[in-house]
A and B are shown apart, each in its own frame.
Chain A
Amino acid sequence: MNHYNNLTTTGELWLRNVKGNKVLASNALSAVYAKYEGEYKSFYTQLKTNQITRFDMFYDCIFVETPAGCIFEKIIPDGDAFKPFNLLDLHTVKHNSVAEYISFDTYVDYWFDEKKQKVTYANIVALEENRYFKEFFTFVILVNEYDCKTSTRQTLIFDKVTLCYKSARNWDIYNYTFETPKITHNALTGKYNLSFLFKNATKEFGLMSFNFAPGSSLEQGGYVVTEVNGHLPFFDLDITRCSVLPYDPTLIPPYHVVTVSNRKYLEDGTTLDPAYDPNPKRKEHYQFIALSTDVEGLPVRRLVIETPVKPTFQF
């Protein structure tokens, strides 16, 4: 059996609730899904109609993926069903963050660090601009981290990679494929690796491999790409003109730092039961939540940056 091509099987998704009864996931998680009813209708419809392509659990956190995107959610019992721990919208829409310039987007791959209780997940986005600039091929690597304790998301890497090539073999900007990236972590050094294949028009593959580690850039979530390796047989690369840079901030609305406490956010519309708080000292965690402006009618985007520095707001 080929594992890559046989990852899915068709069926209904069921959950067992706190009473031990088996409940249809669409019913048990309806309160969780309802978070996405307004802004992400296609995603919500896919959740309700069981068009789920992947499902996973990390203790009391779930991962649900449909063709339109994915979510990580910490859930708490609510009668026979479950409700979200955090009302913050942490939906990862396909084509998120760079919506107007997308020509290709991959599914996410994730790595669960049991010690830190965090899930690091990544996807690759290719840009529409590739169709206008010859001899350059650009894509964006997006790496986020989901905290299973606080049910919040942090962006670790949001970088634009530019490959400059002198010549290319069987390269067609309308006919290439990115495969879902694979992420791994080296507990010994603290570094991550993100690798993926992308293929040209004749399915000849190239391999890209990124190492990234904690750095000093707070805007990038404190992580920086430390090493890029590649096997790109269909490109004759001009290495001196290849680059990995933070994604061009002029292409997205500017971020405004809004000082919202985690505690306040949790109390906004829901009652937090301390019995389900895995971290009794959670009030000592402080966060900046940066919200993008909506002045041009673009969808609101959020970037959550954890900081060890106590912000200037009241608890």
Chain B
Amino acid sequence: MFYSASTDTIYLSPTSLELDLHHTAPFLLTIDPRNGLSLEYLKYKPYKIEYNFGDGSPVYTQTLSPTPSANLYYTRPTDNTLPWPKEPGDPRNFPISHQYYLSGSVVTNVQTTITIFWFAPTTAAEDRIQYSLNISLSAGNLQPRGYNQNSVFGDIHLHSVRMFGENDVVLYNFESSDPNYLLPTIVDWKTYDQPVRLPSIIESLPTKALGGYKWKAPFER
């Protein structure tokens, strides 16, 4: 079971091929192709939708899967209704959900692409259309929900601390409840400013392991 600090549903439509999203990690995105992708827009019958989430997870492909009661090469209905409900195997019938996490920094930018392929009548004809979602993820506020309704966690405790290196860098290992996470955090106290909330002053975490620990950003998978 996943916990999502924020969720969003994107309905693919002709109006916007590129979209910018700003959310707090972990972020659950649902891409819904069931509405808006009419043949008037797509021109031809789609046979595959590729979802490249851009975060290193495998590309997910939803392909046309004909069913005995449906026509693979259907005729556009005359009543101008959407055609794909009559064909359950149409790839536009399947909304897709994906969970995004931070990846090594308190701010992570991910570009997700959705490519719809259709049966083009000739090799010279255009055979696809691509959507692009630019997702910017940030760490949530560490303060518990009792104080701040925009916060992610029910409560926060300091689980442990470790100190490394010649500069006495301190790793504060917070533990949250509801949901349960371990949140390794480094605070750059030299540039710390009191009104600034804690997650925004966390240094970019080093990419290499230090002191035998692999450091992860809050909500890094």
Contacts and interface: CB of A to CB of B under 8 A. Distances in A.
Interface string B162-202: 11111010101001010010100001010010110110000
Contacts of A184: 160-163, 170
A232 interface: yes
A227 B163 CA distance: 13
A311 interface: no
Interface residues of A, number: 34
A211 B108 CA distance: 32
Contact of B157 (A179, A186, A211): A179
Contacts of A202: 146-147
B28 to A, nearest CB: 22
Nearest to B169: A186
A231 B197 CA distance: 9
A183 B170 CA distance: 11
A182 to B, nearest CB: 5
A229 B186 CA distance: 13
Contacts of A236: 194
Interface string A267-307: 00000000000000000000000000000000000000000
A185 B177 contact: no
A191 B170 CA distance: 11
Given A4-B159, A237-B194, A205 B143 contact: yes
A233 B161 contact: no
A309 interface: no
B143 to A, nearest CB: 6
A128 interface: no
A204 interface: yes
Nearest to A170: B147
A182 B168 contact: no
B83 interface: no
B144 A191 contact: no
Contact of A205 (B144, B180, B189, B194): B144
Interface residue tally of chain B, by bracket?
A: 20 to 34
Given A4-B175, A182-B158, A184-B162, A211 B189 contact: no
A193 interface: yes
Interface in A170-186: 170, 179, 182-186
A202 B187 CA distance: 23
B127 interface: no
A189 interface: yes
A202 B156 CA distance: 13
Contacts of A2: 175, 177, 180
Contacts of B189: 209, 229
A188 B166 contact: yes
Contacts of B148: 204
Contacts of A209: 161, 170, 172, 187, 189
B194 A232 contact: yes
B155 interface: yes
Interface string B23-39: 00000000000000000
A186 B163 contact: yes
A203 interface: yes
A279 B51 CA distance: 67
B164 A186 contact: yes
A211 B194 CA distance: 19
Contact of A231 (B164, B168, B192): B192
A5 interface: yes
Residue among A184, A197, A232 with the most chain B CB within 10 A? Answer: A184
A231 B164 CA distance: 20
A116 interface: no
A115 interface: no
A3 interface: yes
Given A2-B175, A186-B164, 12 more contacts: A170-B147, A182-B160, A184-B160, A184-B161, A184-B162, A186-B165, A186-B168, A192-B163, A195-B170, A204-B143, A205-B156, A209-B161
25 contacts: A2-B177, A2-B180, A3-B159, A3-B175, A5-B177, A179-B157, A183-B161, A186-B163, A188-B165, A202-B147, A204-B143, A204-B144, A204-B146, A205-B156, A207-B198, A209-B187, A209-B189, A211-B168, A229-B192, A231-B187, A231-B192, A231-B198, A232-B194, A236-B194, A237-B194
